[in-house]
């Protein structure tokens, strides 16, 4: 349940609205190569426009040094993309905190859309400097946070203006938080969680929380090998985190106590080196040779995991099952993605690489919800509060 005010709960007609969006899009030669994040912001912008608000958009893009403009990290291409996708007249000002930005904001009329320059061209933004917050708040009557992807960061453009002007959530932020919390508070069961990716250490909080709430937890990807060590298998040259073996063993024990079924790979596609030219062979999980590394789940495991997905009413997935970036090790990730796509379960996907994999297989429109936030979605799943959301007005 979302407990904060949203754009629907506040009168925005005739008001100037400053909205933090997540236009942190990939660029190549000044052109947006993936417009998912721009598209995701459109519903709230459209709503505000229809309500007669004047709209000022701001975002970060990439990792600028914070010492002034960097031409290759300008938000202009994102503004152009928004115009292209919607047919709206989208203005852009190559300034964020100076007089030029202030004047452009003051000229914003109902229905106008103005995009400010990259908020991170100034270092103080990241530290949530009060001067930054005050300056941004001075541009508008209302602050809207719709940048779910940065809602877990207490930065100037994310939480700052909320201290000075009424602050509410955009529709994307509301939907993300609602979806990613209700799936664990009140899921249709069985709830099957699938976690993969590279490391146990980066997902420990997520795994811990999933054991509490899921009926079945499927583990794949590089992190499986640390769990293998916990079970006493040898893993050859596979990715492993020796320091996390004990924690992995504790989690297996906790799952047993809680009645959460854990599935680990029963076979693996292994190879002799990590590379695009590496070739795979299939071995059982207790027979990984000393000079081989696991790169993907094997065919028996694919079947096992797909069966588990078939029986699910709700699926949460984060982290690929193998090194899907290399064609020959993408089968496990693809099989699981297809099983989810073919099922009529509620499916929620989080995590940058998992989403990239699903896009690569062309299955995005078969999923119930694909989160636009990597880190933010993980923090929500861990049960953490997001500073950006906390700063908003209570409903
Ligand atoms: P997400 O971004 O979806 O949260 P992660 O960032 O945790 O996922 O992990 C993604 C990475 O994990 C991918 O780059 C993938 O190549 C890597 N990976 C998956 N399986 C393995 C494996 N067996 N060995 C090494 N790396 C792996
Ligand atoms: Mg990742």
- 271 Cβ below 6 A of ligand 1: no
What is the per-residue pLDDT for 323?
97
Which letter, b or e, does each residue of 146-168 get, where b requires 16 or more Cβ atoms within 10 Å of its Cβ?
bbbbbbbbbbbbbbbbbebbbbb
For residue 381, give the ligand nearest its CA: 1
Closest ligand to the CA of 199: 1
Check pocket membership of 320 for ligand 1, CB cut-off 6 A: yes
Which residue has the least CA distance to atom 4 on ligand 1? Answer: 351
Is the Cβ atom of 155 under 6 angstroms away from ligand 1? no
Residue-wise pLDDT tens digits, 335-357:
999 999 999 999 999 988 999 99
CA 352 to ligand 2 centroid distance, Å: 5
- Indicate which ligand has the atom closest to the C-alpha of 350: 1
Output the pLDDT for position 352.
Answer: 85
> Ligand 1 pocket: which of 210, 222, 278, 328 to mutate (most atoms <8 Å of CB)?
222
237 CA to centre of ligand 2 in angstroms: 22
Residue 113 Cβ inside 6 Å of ligand 1? The answer reads: no
Asked if 32 and 76 count as a contact pair (C-beta separation under 8 A), the reply is no
Q: Would you say 353 and 115 are in contact if contact means Cβ atoms under 8 Å apart?
A: no
Q: State residue 351's pLDDT score.
A: 86
Residues known to be catalytic? 37, 199, 352, 375
Distance 131 CA to ligand 2 centre (A): 33
Q: What are the DSSP E strand ranges found in the chain?
A: 16-20, 27-28, 31-32, 54-58, 90-92, 113-115, 142-145, 167-169, 191-195, 216-219, 261-263, 267-271, 281-284, 293-297, 314-318, 346-349, 369-370
Q: Which residues of the chain carry a pLDDT beneath 50?
A: none
Tens digit of each residue's pLDDT (9 = 90 or more) over 76-121: 999 999 999 999 999 999 999 999 999 999 999 999 999 999 999 9
The predicted pLDDT at position 322 comes to: 98
Q: What local confidence, expressed as pLDDT, does residue 262 receive?
A: 98
Taking the CA of residue 224 as reference, the ligand 1 atom at the shortest distance is: 23
Q: Tell me, what's the pLDDT at 152?
A: 96
Report d(CA 201, CA 46) in Å as an integer: 40
From atom 16 of ligand 1, which residue's Cα is the shortest distance away?
323
Residue 222 in contact with ligand 1 by CB distance below 6 A:
yes
Which residues have their alpha-adjacent CB atom under 5 A from ion ligand 2? 352-353
State in Å, rounded, how far the first CA of the chain is from the last one.
11
Residue whose CA is at the smallest distance from ligand 1 atom 21: 222
């Amino acid at each position: 349940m979302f407990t904060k005010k949203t754009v629907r709960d506040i009168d925005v007609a005739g008001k100037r609205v400053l909205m933090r969006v997540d236009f942190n899009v990939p660029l190549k030669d000044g052109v947006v190569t993936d417009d998912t994040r721009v598209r995701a912001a459109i519903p709230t912008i459209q709503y505000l426009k229809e309500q007669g608000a004047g709209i000022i958009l701001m975002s970060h893009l990439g990792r600028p040094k914070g010492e002034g403009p960097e031409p290759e990290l300008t938000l202009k291409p994102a503004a152009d993309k928004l115009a292209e996708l919607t047919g709206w007249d989208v203005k852009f000002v190559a300034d964020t905190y100076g007089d030029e930005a202030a004047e452009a904001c003051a000229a914003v009329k109902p229905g106008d859309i103005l995009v400010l320059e990259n908020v991170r061209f100034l270092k103080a933004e990241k530290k949530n400097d009060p001067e930054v917050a005050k300056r941004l708040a001075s541009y508008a009557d209302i602050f809207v946070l719709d940048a779910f992807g940065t809602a877990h960061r207490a930065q100037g453009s994310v939480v700052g203006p909320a201290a000075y002007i009424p602050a509410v959530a955009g529709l994307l932020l509301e939907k993300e938080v609602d979806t990613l919390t209700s799936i664990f508070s009140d899921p249709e069961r069985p709830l099957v969680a699938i976690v993969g990716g590279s490391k146990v250490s980066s997902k420990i909080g997520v795994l811990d929380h999933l054991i509490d709430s899921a009926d079945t937890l499927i583990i794949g990807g590089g992190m499986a090998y640390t769990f293998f060590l916990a079970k006493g298998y040898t893993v050859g040259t596979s990715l492993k985190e020796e320091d996390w073996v004990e924690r992995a063993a504790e989690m297996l024990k906790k799952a047993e106590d809680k009645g959460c079924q854990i599935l680990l790979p029963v076979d693996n596609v292994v190879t002799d080196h990590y590379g695009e030219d590496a070739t795979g062979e299939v071995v059982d999980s207790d027979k990984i040779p000393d000079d081989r590394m696991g790169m993907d789940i094997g065919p028996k495991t694919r079947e096992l995991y797909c069966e588990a997905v078939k029986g699910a009413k709700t699926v949460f997935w984060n982290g690929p099952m193998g090194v899907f970036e290399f064609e020959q090790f993408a089968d496990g990730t693809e099989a699981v993605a297809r099983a989810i796509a073919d099922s009529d379960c509620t499916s929620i996907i989080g995590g940058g690489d998992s989403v990239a994999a699903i896009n690569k297989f062309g299955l995005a429109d078969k999923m119930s919800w694909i989160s636009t936030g990597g880190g933010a979605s993980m923090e929500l799943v861990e049960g953490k509060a997001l500073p950006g959301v906390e700063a908003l007005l209570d409903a």
